[in-house]
Amino acid sequence: MKRLLAVTLGVLTAIGGFVDIGDLVASSLVGARFGFSLVWVLLLGVVGICVYAEMAGRVAAVAGRPTFDLVRERLGPRAALVNLIGSLLVTALTLAAELAGVALAIELISSVTYLLWLPAVLLMVWLVIWRTRFETMERVFGLAGLALVVFVVAVVGLDPSWSGMLDRALHPEVPGGEGVPTYLYYGIALFASAMTPYEVFFFSSGGIEERWGRKDLAVARANVFVGFPLGGLLSLAIMAAAALLLHPAGVEVGNLSQVVLPVAVPLGKAGIALAILGMFAATFGAALETALSCGYTTAQYFGWRWGKAVAPRAASRFHVVVATALVAGTMLVLTGIDPVKVTEYSLVFAAVALPLTYLPILVVANDPEYMGRAVNGRLANTMGVLYLAVVLVAATAAVPLMIATKAGQ
């Protein structure tokens, strides 16, 4: 019964925790601007994160060590340092976007500017990390994030032509008035939103926090192969709602309040309330994950003690890194920079960092010294290599496309 509960809650957590500020903004923005023509990219990204998250979870359960801990040992300190710097910069920028997302969700309720809420958000996130048990933290915000199911209900409420939606998704084309470079730029951003680097580092480290062993491989795989695709369904619903309502009207998403508009039309105030609750929980949960990931990756590289299960005095450097990342992210947003732009830039740079994130995971998952008989099979390696090629292309094209399109303008 305890194992069943772990699987059930783990799946529900993965569903609610999959969607963060990147998915909210990218899915809504792409749906409003390109309709259903980039659905294939979202599906591609969901499959990709499942492939590599399964490897990361298996490494944690079998080797008993998080992925980044093994990266330095397997690839050496210099290559691992490059990996650390790239991943840390992207994760810290993503953290700033998540903190802004939490504050913006509160602004939608209170009508008080999100900038005034940021210090309170910083304090709340830090207190939850400092005082709340890992399992409680993960499950509360993951389950609350399930309120985003309201977007699925909204899509049904908009009474679309299901055959027409499917046809447009299966026959993608660049909409009139949009250039191919812009189409590809937003495609890469959407792909990166599904394969955000911090997700695998947090998933792997979280497995160690929850003391996974070989017996918990079923729990890890249930999180990945059931929870992540269902979480991807929420992202797809956000995109579809925007494509149905905002795209025909020519409305582009420029702020977080516009993300909830497709819910307001069919479901009214009750729908808006659930959407805001889901957005708050999803971004708050992602802020916890990104802040912890900054600490996880840094501590694992340098060999420090880390983890929420370790007394703060015994893991002081880990907690200092987490607190520093939170303060730095808050200060960046307090400069007044557009939170939506922060999110877009974080996704572009996440695309650049994807090879640094996923190549070491593929290497370690194939090493019998760590994995024994649990090394990658033929299917896992085939999918891993194919997706590594895709992320290399995305990483190579991301910055040139951002420059060529002036960040999608």
CB-CB contact of 294 with 318 (8 Å): no
CB-CB contact of 28 with 242 (8 Å): yes
Q: What pLDDT shows up at residue 9?
A: 52
Nearest in space to 235 (alpha carbons), one of 178, 196, 180: 196
131-151 pLDDT, tens digit each: 888 878 877 888 888 899 999
In which band, very low, low, confident or very high, does the pLDDT at 346 lie, cut at 50, 70 and 90? Answer: confident
Average pLDDT, the chain: 87
Span of 39-43, 110-114, 126-130, 196-200 with lowest mean pLDDT: 196-200
CB atoms within 10 A of CB 78: 9
CB-CB contact of 168 with 285 (8 Å): no
Q: 0.85 exceeded by the pTM?
A: yes
- Nearest-angstrom CA–CA distance, 130 and 407: 37
- Nearest-angstrom CA–CA distance, 201 and 78: 19
CB-CB contact of 179 with 33 (8 Å): no
pLDDT at 96 over 60: yes
Angle subtended at Cα 384 by Cα 382 and Cα 389, rounded to the nearest 5 degrees: 100
- Nearest-angstrom CA–CA distance, 139 and 5: 12
CB-CB contact of 105 with 279 (8 Å): yes
In which band, very low, low, confident or very high, does the pLDDT at 325 lie, cut at 50, 70 and 90? Answer: very high
Q: What's the mean pLDDT in 372-392?
A: 92
Better-predicted residue by pLDDT, 385 or 26: 385
286-323 pLDDT, tens digit each: 899 899 999 999 998 898 999 887 878 888 999 999 99
Helices assigned H by DSSP within 195-305: 197-209, 217-222, 228-249, 261-302
**Distance from the first to the final alpha carbon of the chain:** 53
User: What domains, with CATH codes, occur in the chain?
Assistant: 2-404 (1.20.1740.10)
Query: Could you give phi then psi for residue 42, rounded to 5 degrees?
Result: -60, -45
Q: What pLDDT shows up at residue 15?
A: 65
**Where does residue 160 rank: exposed (0-12), middle (13-18), buried (19+ CB within 10 A)?**
middle
Q: What's the mean pLDDT in 356-385?
A: 89
Angle subtended at Cα 236 by Cα 392 and Cα 288, rounded to the nearest 5 degrees: 75
DSSP state of 227: I
pLDDT at 334 over 60: yes
Q: What's the mean pLDDT in 248-260?
A: 83
Spatial CB neighbours of 280, under 8 Å, sequence gap ≥ 6: 102, 105, 106, 144
- Nearest-angstrom CA–CA distance, 232 and 241: 14
- Nearest-angstrom CA–CA distance, 361 and 381: 11
